[in-house]
Chain A
Amino acid sequence: MSTGISQKEVHWSRTRALMIIHMVIWFIFAFGIHWFAPQLNKVQLFGFPMGFYMAAQGSLIIFVVQLFVFDWQQHRIDRECGMAEEE
């Protein structure tokens, strides 16, 4: 059983680390970048003022991609630690 317990601990510490990484990315694109919208608006991105673009589209695309990547990463952690559900 001792290996079982340590596997659980490894699983949880990896899960927590993944959570923190995704929360940091989330924080940057939810808040950080929009704080500087007036400055970013001076730059053009795909023909848009960048500050406007990030709020209207850029952050959204990041979130969608991020969630599919997160799902894949978490599933890999679950499998490698033997914590995934049986298919």
Chain B
Amino acid sequence: MALLNPKGSFIDNLPRIYGLYTGGFIVFILLMSLLEKFGGSEDTIAKLFVAFTIIIYAVIGYLSRTAQVDAYYVAGRQVPSVFNGMATAADWMSGASFVAMAGGIYMAGYPYLGFVVGWTGGYVLVAVLMAPYLRKFGCYTVPDFIGTRYGGNLARFLAVVVLIVASFTYVTAQIDATGTIAAKVLQIPYALGVWLALIAILLCAMLGGMRAVTWTQVAQYIVLIIAYLLPVFWMSNKQGFGMFPQFEYGAAVAKLGELETLHQVGVLKPVSAVVGMSALTVKHAFASTDPIAAFKFVTLVACMMLGTASLPHILMRYFTTPSVKSARTSVAWSLLFIFLLYFTAPALATLTKLQVLDPSLATSIIGKPITQVLALDWVGKWSNVGFLKIIDSNGDGILQINEFFMRADIVVLATPEIAGLPAVISGLVAAGGLAAAMSTADGLLLAIANALSHDLYYKMIDPKADVKHRLLVARVLLLAIGAAGSAVASLRLTGILGAVAWAFDFAMSGLFFPLVLGVWWKRANREGAIAGMAVGLGVGSWYLYMVKWGGMAPWYGLDDLRFGIVGAGASLIAMVVVTLMTKAPDAEIQAMVDEVRIPKGASVLSSTH
């Protein structure tokens, strides 16, 4: 990076470097809109967007190559808190957040907001209960903390198992999302898209590990947040919803309420079912008075929050800051950067729905003659790829609410087209979705490969391995895990969102209580932690299997998205009971816990452990 910063260190120049980068990206967007004016096709523009951004990430990945252990595992512990906040936000916001969240709110209305609350509030747990303490500990990976705090290879091994189950479930969904976007933009078969996606993902992480992933994630955050916000501001101003629609869409929510009555949303049910697609049957802001509905909302929130605080690829981002204080500050920045997207998603869902439903807007389709709707560009395009379907079930030639089917996750991608924004915006959104999915996939692959190379290989199999050997193993594993993830992704077992929610449930079932109690309960011991992880993961997996495939009726509405409640509950009971039945940890471990609780002083593990 020496070219960019003649004076001062790379870290000192970060604001300037990323400022230039952001400016460059905006210039690129302007160039693309010029190209569109001079007749460049939509496909060409989208391809240029995707190619340009991926090349940038790969260059950053290459420039960040390293041969040092602490640079590879924790980016040399010198990432300033604001930049770590951006990297965490990119790490965090996956294809599901970018592509599927607004669509989910569009289709399911209020109950879906449980994801919005859960995926933000979890950071309160991260900041208050975990991140600063794990940073003080000085570990490289999450199992590193479990293994040292509780002692013994079995505890470390179980933590690796939980990490792999949760992260692998998650990463297949991200490779799937990356491949889907690549396949659509480049017009290649999905299976090929998945493997191309993997190559792009590995380009960012292979040579530089955490250091490379950190700096690409910052770049990816900038792309994804611009790509998410720009269309919303544009649409809002174009259609007169106000300058900052996030604060002003209350009127749109009220208007939707009237339109839902007009179009008989919830009264007209679809006559026929279309696989993978749905028609709108739920009112936007309606919260049921049924206590089970409230219970389902808060349990979904709880699963997403506890899962957030247990997911290793997120926790390990806070190992990269220079100090305990900066780790804590960084969590606040992370949440602010995440908030920018999450409080926009409901606004986007509301405004897009209004575009489709409001007869006074030129963009509306419900209530229009079907021949006229089918002639619309975006309807034709998305129908052709099987993401949208119109069935005139009552044969009157007019499109009713129960005759319009679509896959929820096209809402974000289709919104620029629905609102009649220029094609350059569609290209930008594709690049944003790709950035979101790639950055999360990178973080997850690295979390898995690092746990295997550091905890399994170095700590348990070959403690005498030298640095070169350790990093070689780490890279080979990264490649192998990535290939395995792509192979599973190309089978397309679950939808993007299902797999993501499961990852949270697995992580909280196995890791939440062993991590929290490791800091906050000095008495917690090895036997308890082992029981907590084994019982939590075991019971959680059993419950998921029984509810999803075993034909068991869910307990109190705890369906397969919420199995973490059962898993984590079992984990807590097992951990507390077994800990109290066995003897307290020795004085050395207790002193270690005391040391973790204060920011001052050297980290518990040395920097080259």
Contact = CB atoms under 8 A, between A and B. Distances in A.
Question: Interface of chain A, helix or strand or loop or mixed?
Answer: helix
Interface in B238-269: 246-251, 253-254
Contact of A47 (B128, B251, B346, B600): B251
Contacts of B129: 19
Contacts of A52: 110, 113, 253, 284-285, 287
A75 B598 CA distance: 11
Interface in A33-87: 34-35, 37-38, 41, 44, 46-49, 51-53, 55-57, 59-61, 63-64, 66-68, 70-71, 74-75, 78, 82-86
A46 B332 CA distance: 25
Contacts, number: 150
Tell which of A8, A64, A74 has the most Cβ of chain B within 10 Å. Answer: A64
B125 A57 contact: no
The size class of the interface chain A forms with chain B is 35 or more
Interface in B584-606: 594, 597-600
Given A67-B123, A71-B329, A56 B116 contact: yes
A49 B346 CA distance: 13
Given A47-B254, A52-B285, A29 B328 contact: no
A47 to B, nearest CB: 3
B173 to A, nearest CB: 24
B400 interface: no
A75 B325 contact: yes
A35 B294 contact: yes
A53 B250 CA distance: 8
A85 B323 contact: yes
Given A19-B129, A26-B124, A67-B124, A60 B253 contact: no
B297 A84 contact: no
B597 A15 contact: yes
A51 B293 CA distance: 14
A57 B301 contact: no
A59 B339 CA distance: 11
A75 B284 CA distance: 42
B352 to A, nearest CB: 14
A31 B301 CA distance: 8
B160 interface: no
Given A37-B287, A52-B110, A84-B600, A57 B120 contact: no
Given A22-B124, A52-B285, A71-B332, A8 B598 contact: yes
Contact of B335 (A8, A30, A56, A67): A67
B599 to A, nearest CB: 5
A67 B332 contact: yes
B114 A55 contact: yes
Contact of B250 (A31, A47, A66, A82): A47
B294 A64 contact: no
A83 B332 CA distance: 21
Contacts of A46: 247, 250
A45 to B, nearest CB: 8
A52 to B, nearest CB: 4
B305 to A, nearest CB: 6
B332 A34 contact: no
Contact of A85 (B125, B286, B287, B600): B600
B346 A56 contact: yes
A74 to B, nearest CB: 6
Given A51-B287, A56-B113, A78-B599, A34 B294 contact: yes
6 contacts: A19-B520, A22-B124, A30-B302, A49-B285, A52-B253, A68-B332
Given A55-B114, A63-B339, A78-B599, 7 more contacts: A11-B597, A19-B129, A19-B520, A22-B124, A63-B121, A71-B332, A74-B328
